[in-house]
């Protein structure tokens, strides 16, 4: 395993870590505790020491599974969770210090810890980033010993840039992959200047960049790749990185042409992200243990050549940029 510093937190974390949106099984299926435990153990057995979750993942079951798991391991593990998406309707007015404080205290109970290593605002509406009293709450929670660090999970680059104006924001979680390249234009530069930890989510564009999908692939009704393609339930950018599925398949076919023989597109796509030095960690998800080990194969890949980087850029320019670059 390779390790990188998570910005101002000082945490030394695995370059490829674990996202747990689907840790209990496939999206849309019932939560499987044994499966979650197997995935978590596989990750930590292979050197992963950073686990990302949220209070809304499987209605709190993801946090509970991690809380139970932590009791079984001796390693020092860093857990990042999130709060805010329970607010319904999910609007600026719903964000109050009292509401967020309760969410933090609930997460402490589910995770069975005295302090949260990292609490992230979970893609709040843009106006929340202009409310100092919301960010000030987390200074209070830190003084009370309930959290160690504050981060944000954002939809838009502009939100990331605004968030890091607050001194207590230590990390930003953002979508960045071969199909979502805009964060590298300005945000990464500013993140490095301010020593902000960068956590990359949706690194494989909801699985598109595995190269395993086709026009005939069927997703379950409870899978966001089926019900949220146009942003019906939450931000469209969370599903296939916001791109049209058919267009994405065409782009993937061209990307496959630059994958070396015997290698996988997924590993190449993860390595492409890790080649950006502003990135602290990548958090691909896994719905079964073998996906964890496959994701970690990217650590053994050579950095992309200048020619390969140009080819990735050409595919982005040809198929993707016009539809996503101005939105997120």
Average pLDDT, the chain: 95
Domain 3-324, classified CATH 3.20.20.100, yes or no: yes
Predicted confidence (pLDDT) per residue in 277-307, tens digit: 999 999 999 999 999 999 999 999 999 999 9
- In DSSP terms, 83 is beta-bridged to 121
> Sign (positive/negative) of CA torsion 224, 126, 283, 63?
negative
Q: Which phi and psi angles does 119 have, rounded to 5°?
A: -110, 130
Which ranges of the chain would DSSP assign to H, the alpha helix?
33-45, 61-70, 97-111, 132-143, 157-163, 187-193, 224-227, 245-255, 265-274, 289-296, 306-315, 321-324
Look at residue 176 and tell me whether its pLDDT is greater than 70. yes
Burial class (CB in 10 A: 0-12, 13-18, 19+), 239: buried
Predicted confidence (pLDDT) per residue in 4-61, tens digit: 999 999 999 999 999 999 898 776 778 999 999 999 999 999 999 999 999 999 999 9
- In DSSP terms, 78 is beta-bridged to 50
Q: Which residue has the tokens 């691909």?
A: 284
Predicted confidence (pLDDT) per residue in 228-273, tens digit: 888 888 888 888 888 999 999 999 999 999 999 889 999 999 999 9
Share of the chain above pLDDT 70, in %: 100
Look at residue 221 and tell me whether its pLDDT is greater than 80. no
Predicted confidence (pLDDT) per residue in 131-163, tens digit: 999 999 999 999 999 999 999 999 999 999 999
DSSP code for 300: G
């Amino acid at each position: 395993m390779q390790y990188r510093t998570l910005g101002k937190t000082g945490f030394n974390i695995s370059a490829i870590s674990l996202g747990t949106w689907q840790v209990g099984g496939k999206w849309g299926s019932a939560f499987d505790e044994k499966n979650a435990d197997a995935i978590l153990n596989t990750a930590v057995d292979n050197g992963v020491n950073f686990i990302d979750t949220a209070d809304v993942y499987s209605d709190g079951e993801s946090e509970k599974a991690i809380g139970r798991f932590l009791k079984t391991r001796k390693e020092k593990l860093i857990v990042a969770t999130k709060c805010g998406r329970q607010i319904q309707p999910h609007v600026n007015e719903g964000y109050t210090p009292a509401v967020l404080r309760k969410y933090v205290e609930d997460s402490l109970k589910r995770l069975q810890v005295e302090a949260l290593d990292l609490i992230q605002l979970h893609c709040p509406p843009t106006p929340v980033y202009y409310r100092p009293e919301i960010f000030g709450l987390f200074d209070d929670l830190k003084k009370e010993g309930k959290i160690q660090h504050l981060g944000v999970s954002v939809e838009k680059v502009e939100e990331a840039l605004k968030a890091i104006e607050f001194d207590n924001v230590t990390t930003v979680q953002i979508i960045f992959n071969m199909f979502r390249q805009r964060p590298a234009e300005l945000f990464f530069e500013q993140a490095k200047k301010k020593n902000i930890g960068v956590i990359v989510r949706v690194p494989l564009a909801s699985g598109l960049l595995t190269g395993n999908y086709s026009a005939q692939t069927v997703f379950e009704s409870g899978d966001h790749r089926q019900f949220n393609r146009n942003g019906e339930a939450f931000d469209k950018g969370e599903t296939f990185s916001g791109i049209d599925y058919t267009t994405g398949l065409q782009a993937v076919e061209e990307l496959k042409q630059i994958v070396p023989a015997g290698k996988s597109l997924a590993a190449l796509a993860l390595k492409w992200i890790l080649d950006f030095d502003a990135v602290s960690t990548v958090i691909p998800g896994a719905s079964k243990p073998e996906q964890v080990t496959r994701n970690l194969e990217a650590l053994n890949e050579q950095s992309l050549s200048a020619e390969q980087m140009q080819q990735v850029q050409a595919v982005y320019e040809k198929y993707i940029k016009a539809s996503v670059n101005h939105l997120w």
